[in-house]
Amino acid sequence: MQKTLWTAALALAVLAACSPPAPTPVAEAPAAQPAAATPAMADMPMPDTAQATGPITSSGKITAIDAIAGTVTLDHQAIPEVKWEAMSMAFTTTDPAILKDLKVGDAVSFDLKSAAEPTKISRIAKQ
Ligand SMILES: [Cu+2]
């Protein structure tokens, strides 16, 4: 008798678990996009959102420059906002014209476009 009741209760529980309320699929739809974006962001060493949207200022020295291609190689200081050690690396520019008054050897301050696009320089000027 007790076993029968227990089995019936279990069967009801299983039935309940297998019957989601009707609004559930509707409620899940808006949540799907943030839920999908979160794991991808967590996999990358990305700074927080505020830093990702704005320019990041740093400084360094020009070691190579191609004003026509709009590329510049900089010996730059550590840039903690994007977790970079000090290093020499090539950057592209948002506008090649920003390089026109610069030359190899110049000490410069510059802005990375954003943490999302850290290899693109949006401002550069002699110090
Ligand atoms: Cu670098």
89-119 pLDDT, tens digit per residue, is: 999 999 999 999 999 999 999 999 999 999 9
CATH code of residue 100: 2.40.50.320
For residue 24, give its domain range: 2-43
- Regarding whether 105 and 63 lie in a shared domain, the answer is yes
User: Same domain for 113 and 53?
Assistant: yes
Q: Is the pLDDT of residue 47 over 80?
A: no
CA of 101 to the centre of ligand 1 (A): 23
Q: What Cα–Cα distance (Å) separates residue 27 from each residue in 21, 24, 49, 67, 122?
A: 11, 5, 26, 53, 42
Query: What is the whole-number distance in angstroms between the Cα of residue 20 and the centre of ligand 1?
Result: 51
**Same domain, yes or no, for 56 and 38?**
no
| Whether residue 39 sits in one domain with residue 21 | yes
* 74/23 same-domain check: no
Domain count across the chain: 2
Same domain for 70 and 121, yes or no, is yes
Tell me what pLDDT residue 62 has: 98
Q: The pTM is what?
A: 0.60
Give the phi and the psi of residue 11 in degrees, each rounded to 5. Answer: -60, -40
CA of 76 to the centre of ligand 1 (A): 7
For the cut 50, the answer to whether the pLDDT of residue 43 exceeds it is yes
Ligand 1 centroid to 113 CA: how many Å? 14
Residues 115 and 80 in one domain: yes
At residue 32, the pLDDT reads: 46
Residue 62 Cα to ligand 1 middle (Å): 13
**81 shares a domain with 37:** no
**pLDDT attached to residue 53:** 81
